[in-house]
Amino acid sequence: MPIQYYIILSLALFCIGIVGVLTRRNAIIIFMCIELMLNAVNLLLVAFSKMHYAAAAVANKAATEGTEGQLFVFFIMVVAAAEVSVGLAIIVMMYRNIHSVDVSFLNRLKN
Amino acid sequence: MLNDFLVLMKQELVVTLIIFILLFIKVGSKEWKNEKLLNTVNVLLLLNFAAGCIGNAEGSLFNEMFIGNAITALEKNILNLGTFIISLQSYAWLKNHKHVAEFYMLLLSTLLGMFLMISSGNLLMFYLGLELSSIPLAALANFDLEQRRSSEAAFKYIISSAFSSGLLLFGISLVFGTTGTLVFSELSAALNGSPLQLFAFILLIAGFAFKISAVPFHLWTADVYEGAPASVTSYLSVISKGAVLFVFVSVLYKVFRPLAETWYHLLFVVSAATMIVGNLFAIRQNNLKRFLAFSSIAQVGFVLIGISGSSQTGSAAVVYFILIYVFSNLAAFGVVSLISALTNKETIDDYKALYKTNPLLSWALTIALFSLAGVPPTAGFFGKFFLLIAGTGKGLVLSYVWITIAALNLIVSFYYYLKIVKAIFMDSNTTPIQRLQIPAVSKLALFICLAGIVLTGLFSFVYEYIYSLSPVF
């Protein structure tokens, strides 16, 4: 399958994620949208990794081009999990303090 | 091999060791008193700074994942020094806090992340360092557990940092797609300036701009700085911002040199907007933490001028400016966080007639503000001077327009810095802040900062030393 399809799909996912972060009011849904952005990146990295391998494998079957891309994906998953666990802990604290997870209530810090 | 590893990663290893010591203290059966624990940590951080200063080597480890040389060692030492000063300053606040060991574990984890980020030679390592330096900071921003504004600040910080790392990652994946490599030294040869690469580059810059809070990605800054505890705010504005600026310089100079034409114009727009917006919003702030947030946004605009020079002078000027910025901003934040910890007062109106009751704090804050504004005898003047010199190095017409904008902004910044000095010395106040008992540790931190402000400016060998270490381009 040509690489363009993957790029278009992951761009679409990424844009949905950005729009979600910017428009949704629920803190947990905002985190889900950030996950969506990161998953779009993962998809793109894997697709590029396969593309680079396929280009190199024509000459040499045992080529290792593109492995960094797949490796990167694992690290992104781990970091995203850490980010979300800290984020959820903060949301719990926020819920205790203001009894809501709606971000429109977060307007105390203004003059 | 093992020897290389121990020498090159010495600073990282020492920080890791301190984290483990704190972990053992925390899980150990004996309860430590807060004062004893704080003193131990301060001694450990001083040893950490001292250990960083001796015996540094050059080389790379793990297939160029990690690169150490003289300038990265110096940058890490600056961050170590700043962390030590912040640790001294937070004494008054942490003395009555329940979770002292956790605070330092999180703080030192972020410091470790910054070290790895500064030394990274690969986009993967860079990303991991960046995340390690920003995720624990969100937990730190929430460290006033019962306060609503603290959790609000933490939430805003984690959302904006996750969002910005999403943008950064998308840029990284496109760079990987077009070049097929993640190693810095191979990337610069593989970049050819195709439209897709420019798009990826702009996404990367957006990720950086979030972290250094450059306009148009500065909106989180003021809210987070105001809501977070004052010590965490000073850490965010000095150490975390300084580390990202160091990396920004080395990434732009080393990796994205083929796109220098593009990023010069990009930096012009971002820097001019950052200076103007930072200055104009700083004028109308009444809360001092918010005020310092906008003033630090404006300072980043000046640093970007120095970066645009893309020369040895540019690199040296940025490191020199950040060293001075550590001293002057920490002196200002030291006074603000001390008064906020002891009296809970943070607005400029509360500071009126501060000189009548607390002359030492007033003088410290005044000298720090003079240095931030750039008044000649203080070091801030020399820092800005070298940044502007580096910016004109290219001799383009655009760079002179840029310097003119910077000069006009300097005049505006005098107005708001001096407004606070006027409030402290000249205004009258019926309910001034009472005379404060300053802990000896906080006094020590203030004196270190003030000595730094005066001495780094007067002794020219500081700049010459940094210049001699900076890489030649």
Residue A111 has pLDDT above 60, yes or no: no
> What's the rounded Cα separation, in Å, for the pair B233 and B243?
15
Q: In whole numbers, what is the pLDDT of chain B averaged over residues?
A: 88
Range of weakest confidence among A7-16, B17-26, B384-393: B384-393
Domain ranges of chain A: 3-100
Q: What is the ipTM of this complex?
A: 0.93
CB contact under 8 A, B287 and A111: yes
Single pTM value for the model:
0.92
Instruction: Answer yes or no: is pLDDT of A82 > 70.
Output: yes
Instruction: Name the nearest CA neighbour of B416 among B297, B247, B323.
Output: B297
pLDDT in tens, B115-146: 999 999 899 999 999 999 999 999 999 888 88
pLDDT digits (tens, 9 = 90+) for B139-170: 999 888 888 888 888 988 999 999 999 999 99
Residue B400 pLDDT: 87
Q: Chain A residues with CB inside 8 Å of B226's CB?
A: 109
Taking contacts as CB-CB distances below 8 angstroms, the residues of chain A near B136 are 86
Which residues lie closer than 8 Å to B348 by C-beta, 6 or more apart? B285, B286, B287, B288, B291, B419, B420, B423
Q: Which of A11, A19, A109, A110 to mutate to test the interface with B (most CBs of B within 10 A)?
A: A109
- The stretch B314-318 carries a mean pLDDT of 89
Q: How far apart are CA A21 and CA A87, in angstroms?
A: 14
CATH fold for domain A3-100: Helix Hairpins (1.10.287)
Listed range (A57-61, B197-201, B243-247, B271-275) with the worst mean pLDDT: A57-61
CB of B347 less than 8 A from some CB of A: no
Split at pLDDT 50, 70, 90, the class of A8 is: very high
Give the Å distances, CA to CA, from B43 to A23, B35, B52, B327.
48, 12, 14, 20
Chain A residues inside the 8 Å CB shell of B177: 3, 7, 44, 47-48, 51
The pLDDT of B394-417, averaged and rounded, is 87
Chain A residues touching residue B163 (CB < 8 angstroms):
21, 34, 37
SS3 assignment for B358-412: CHHHHHHHHHHHHHHHCCCCCHHHHHHHHHHHHHHCCCCHHHHHHHHHHHHHHHH
Instruction: Supply the pLDDT for residue A32.
Output: 92
Predicted confidence (pLDDT) per residue in B42-84, tens digit: 888 888 888 888 877 788 888 888 888 888 889 999 999 999 9
Average pLDDT, integer, range B180-194? 86
Report the interhelical angle of A27-57 vs A67-98 (nearest 10°).
180
- Tell me how far apart the alpha carbons of residues B188 and B201 are, in angstroms, rounded to a whole number: 12
Give percent of chain B with pLDDT exceeding 90.
31
Checking if the pLDDT of A110 tops 60, the result is no
Q: Which residues of A touch B159 (CB under 8 A)?
A: 21, 30-31, 34, 87
In contact, A37 and B170? CB cutoff 8 Å: yes
Q: Nearest CA to CA, how far is B340 from chain A (Å)?
A: 16
> Is the Cβ pair A87, B223 closer than 8 Å?
no
- Are B315 and B308 in contact, with CB atoms under 8 Å apart? no
Q: Return the pLDDT at A39.
A: 93
Which tokens hold the place of B410? 């300097």
Residue A53 at interface with chain B, using a CB cutoff of 8 Å: no
Q: If you ran DSSP here, which 8-state letter would residue B433 be given? A: P
A27 CA to chain B: closest CA distance, Å? Answer: 9
The pLDDT tens digits of the residues spanning A26-81 come to 889 999 999 999 999 999 999 999 888 888 888 888 777 888 888 999 999 999 99
Q: Are B301 and B271 in contact (CB under 8 A)?
A: yes
Mean pLDDT of B361-380: 89
State mean pLDDT over B368-389: 89
The per-residue DSSP string of B210-245 comes to: HHTT-TTS-HHHHHHHHHS-HHHHHIIIIIIHHHHH
